[in-house]
Homo-oligomer: A and B are copies of this chain.
Amino acid sequence: MIDFRSDNTGRAAPEILEALIRANRGTALGYGADDWTAALQHRFCELFETDVRVFPVATGTAANALSLAALSPSWGIVFCSEAAHINTSEANAAGFFGGGLKLAPVAGEHGRIGAERLAQAVAAIAPGQLHRGQPAAVNLTQASDLGTVYSLDEIRALGEIARARGLKLHMDGARFANALARLGCRPAEASWRVGIDILSFGATKNGGALCDAIVVFKPELVDSLAVQLRRAGQVWSKMRFASAQLLAYVEDDLWLRMARASNAIAARIAAGLAGLAAAQLVAPVEVNEIFLELPSAVMDALEADGFGFYRRGPTLARFVCRFDTTEAEADALVSALRRHLKSA
């Protein structure tokens, strides 16, 4: 199979697993009181150019749900895109870890929340109205669930709307590296400098193996998050094996190199389809995902050719590029698509 199903079907970067092996020496205190975790803490402060706190966690769902639980009271309302992963794909983990907090989906273009729509949604709940729960936070998926990227200006604008009402800002960065590669800016510029309070720092989809992380930019959120992580069963006793993975992930820009690679493959596919009227992109290709309107028969034909991808609707196909997807695989997909779409 030529696999475009997801970026989580892929291998881990060998550097990450090797780091895990290298960490397997001597004894070390449990639950994060080890040298690797201390180094990770130091490294992320450098990386984000400010004093952050980083907590390794097992999954992006844990990162998102616990980040929101740290930002919102249990009676809070969290605004998010209708397409947001926390809304469509995490078995209501946010509502569970948040003790009943409620997601309020907001419409927008290409998987992003629109500023005007956010303003309206927030304004629709007057301060002091107790029958609605209380607006507490805004969640942005960066890159979005349709493979698009918020510009720094867009984030700033959303952040201003949020802060005007006292709402906190969470970024679901399951594909933060891909977004950063696209934006071409520094991690700080794409996060706390545009108002993000807490970041789900994804690694798994971009060549990681068994952990993601939460990066906290607001020190006052740290203590309660730390105990909630423990209670959530998200604090490994042999934490060094998680921290070593994350250290390797950002060493020598490995993460950005991998993100650039998968973005480039997606761009190559998009370029290959340019000018083909029948190939209708659902959203601009800005990172490593391609959403195409495709006749069902074309999807059948692609599968018969041996391509793997997800059907997101009767005529909606998603193709995802991994850090190690090859140009040859991309070209084969383009060629097959052109062939089947012409005859469709």
Contacts and interface: CB of A to CB of B under 8 A. Distances in A.
A283 interface: no
Given A27-B1, A232-B232, A12 B58 contact: no
A154 B233 CA distance: 29
B210 A241 contact: yes
A92 B65 contact: no
Contacts of A1: 27
A79 to B, nearest CB: 14
Interface string A11-34: 110100110110011111111000
Chain A interface size range? 35 or more
Contacts of A231: 61, 75, 90-93, 96, 100, 133
Contacts of A191: none
Nearest to A90: B131
A12 B241 contact: yes
A130 interface: yes
A18 B233 CA distance: 25
A24, A26, A242: which has the most chain B beta carbons within 10 Å? Answer: A24
A74 B75 contact: no
Nearest to A22: B17
A328 interface: no
A65 B12 contact: no
A236 interface: yes
B27 A132 contact: no
Interface stretch (A2-10, A144-152, A290-298): A2-10
Q: Which of A12, A21, A63, A238 has the most CB of B within 10 A?
A: A238
A73 interface: yes
Interface in A72-119: 73-75, 77, 88-93, 95-96, 99-102
Given A11-B26, A27-B322, A65-B233, 7 more contacts: A61-B231, A62-B233, A75-B96, A93-B230, A205-B237, A232-B233, A233-B234
Interface of A: 1, 3, 5-6, 8-12, 14, 17-18, 20-21, 24-31, 57-63, 65-66, 73-75, 77, 88-93, 95-96, 99-102, 130-134, 204-205, 208-211, 224, 226-228, 230-238, 241-242, 308, 322
